[in-house]
A and B are shown apart, each in its own frame.
Chain A
Amino acid sequence: MAQTITQKILAQHANRARVNPGENIWIDVDILMTHDVCGPPTIDIFKREFGESAKVWDKNKLVILPDHYIFTEDPHARRNIELLRDFASLHDLPHYYDVGTSQYKGVCHIALAEEGFNRPGNVLFGTDSHTCTSGAFGLFSTGVGNTDAALIMGTGKIWVKVPDTMRFVFEGDLPPYLMAKDLILSVIGDIGFEGGTYKALEFDGKAVFDLSMEERMTLTNMAIEAGGKNGIIAPDEKTFEYVRARTDHGFEPVYGDAGATFFSERVYDVSKMEPVVAKPHRPDNLANVSEVAGTKLDRAYIGSCTGGKIEDFMAAASILEGNEVRIDTFVVPASSEVTRQLRERTMNGKTIWQVFLDAGCKMGHASCGACLGGPVDTFGRTHGTEVVISTTNRNFPGRMGSKQAAVYLASPLTVAASALNGTITDPREVLV
């Protein structure tokens, strides 16, 4: 019987021809990723269960990317980096990207892509809920806790319940005022915050394959905001080109069978969609920008795994270039590679970095930044009743620091347009 891409990848990694939705199976893991918040407790559990001197199952398959609490004086956060450094050194880990060195990358999900760890057909787990981002490359990826990560660290195996697949087909040509963020916020608003719980969310259709790899990652990144287990997009030539440019490691692409059964299917015509926001305090609290236009803002934030990629900044810069922001606007590159490109790429003779500086933006270092609040001295963190528009992926109470703050989620185009006016603004008003 025909299977979805998610079923086929899981079946291969369980050494089986077929797996069925709802089954619990043990699978082999190709890559395990962890970071500074969940890495140290994962290592503690690994030592407790496998022994103080135990070796990790395969050091070439373990990737450690400190990214959450990096530019802070918080002593506990700094200690977590030390613990990762010691562990990486003790185990001679080849894929540890240390803070304060030229190896430092920034946000793990973006770094996994940049460093060639997102390989079609693979199974990738990470101690972060946005690990589903990697599914943009045609692989099964999902977030787990420290305990599950410790089990993988020791055995290379984990149990999973095979998910049903919800299919989202995007047809048509994407208008210049829309971005992948508008598409995924619309999906989350339509199916609800828990509409995808325990499900694979598969994105398909011409408009998806027209997207760059970075924009595809914005789609899969937010599968978790609908409760999804994984987000996935079948690989194509763009995928292969991106991966081959970054790794010599081989991979076997996997595709869903024709006639596979889906739990549900929704079809969107992107040419008819609207710029949208998620209103406070839930990612599924969907509204067209036109419905909330004029809402007064205190702050704009452009950054994170979902909204801090180079293309996100190019989009924002296309609106901010030659203009000045009216509210505090924080720019936080997802990775040091993004920072490098901001300083190299140009627009009307100026670097993108300079475009933001001249527009009056505050420039931060590559990391998760204030997307998740973090220690009190985190760049861009809210501390009061700020009303924020942000390219990040969550707007729960307190997510960006203060429980009293109100966060709107939107595309980089909408955030930049809103920063110019100090009120929520439809990007069509300012795009030339």
Chain B
Amino acid sequence: MKDIIKGKAYVVGDSIDTDQIIPAIHLVYSMKLPEERQFYGRYALCGLPEGEQGLPVGNVPFTPPDQFKSEFTFVIAGTNFGCGSSREHAPFAIQEAGAEVVIAESYARIFYRNAVDGGFVIPFESSMRLVDMIQTGDELTLDTRTGILSNATSGAEYLLNPLGDVAEILKCGNVFEYARRAGLMA
């Protein structure tokens, strides 16, 4: 886990489900082969209705059409982010697009687990409703050690919730290294 992460914000609403993060039609691609896995970056968050793509204005695709990478590093979301299916393709797609952090008011549990155990994106939680305070395109800097998030565009600073129990797994990189340290695998 990097100490400092800098980049642009992409803001979405509440209860963004996994069909909006990566629609089921795209789940057929290999997550291993480089020529195929890049399509998860292309289609990340493409299931959002157009008006809800990049708030507050909307109509900002997370990854531009025909591109594989997004210009956004942070996904800022409301409550219950990642609800719905157990598809690990969801946090994987966000990572594959090039984003590193999701900051939501709350998460659906399987998405949260998948993000942590697979080491795809860091799922921070915020007690504040950041989706009303941050706009798509804002320049953010996050110190993962302190949880302090700075918005260079607005000048505001926010304290995110501690990562808690999952910090150990995030530091290990993924659940396999965590399991090795617990003596559960070679």
Binding site for B on A (CB under 8 A): 24, 26, 37-38, 40-41, 44, 49-50, 69, 74, 76-77, 79-80, 127-129, 131, 143-148, 151, 154-155, 157, 159, 161, 193-194, 197-198, 224, 227, 229, 282, 372-376, 394, 396-399, 401, 403
Contacts and interface: CB of A to CB of B under 8 A. Distances in A.
Interface in B92-141: 106-110, 113-114, 117-118
A134 to B, nearest CB: 14
B28 A194 contact: no
Contact of B184 (A145, A148, A157): A157
B28 A282 contact: no
Interface centre among B19, B86, B113, B179 (most CB of A within 10 A): B86
**Interface range for B:** 35 or more
Tell me the interface secondary structure of chain B in the complex: loop
Nearest to B118: A147
Interface string B18-49: 01100111011111100010000000000111
B47 A128 contact: no
Nearest to B16: A396
A131 B83 CA distance: 15
Contact of B88 (A38, A50, A197, A227): A38
B168 to A, nearest CB: 9
Interface of B: 15, 17, 19-20, 23-25, 27-32, 36, 47-49, 79-80, 83-89, 106-110, 113-114, 117-118, 165, 174-176, 179, 182, 184-185
B103 to A, nearest CB: 17
Contacts of B109: 197-198, 227, 229
Nearest to B88: A145
A126 to B, nearest CB: 8
B175 A147 contact: yes
B86 A197 contact: no
B84 A396 contact: yes
Nearest to B36: A76
B85 A372 contact: yes
Nearest to A77: B28
B110 to A, nearest CB: 6
Given A76-B28, A398-B47, A146 B88 contact: yes
A147 B85 contact: no
For the complex of A and B, 9 pairs with smallest distance between CB atoms: A145-B88, A76-B28, A145-B114, A143-B86, A147-B118, A194-B80, A129-B86, A41-B31, A146-B88
Contacts of B110: 129, 143-145
Given A74-B28, A147-B118, A198-B109, A397 B19 contact: yes
B19 A399 contact: yes
B33 to A, nearest CB: 9
Nearest to A131: B86
A374 B86 contact: no
A282 B15 contact: yes
B45 to A, nearest CB: 12
Contact of A24 (B31, B85, B165): B165
B86 A128 contact: yes
A376 B179 CA distance: 40
Given A69-B28, A194-B80, A376-B25, A145 B108 contact: no
Nearest to B117: A147
A142 to B, nearest CB: 8
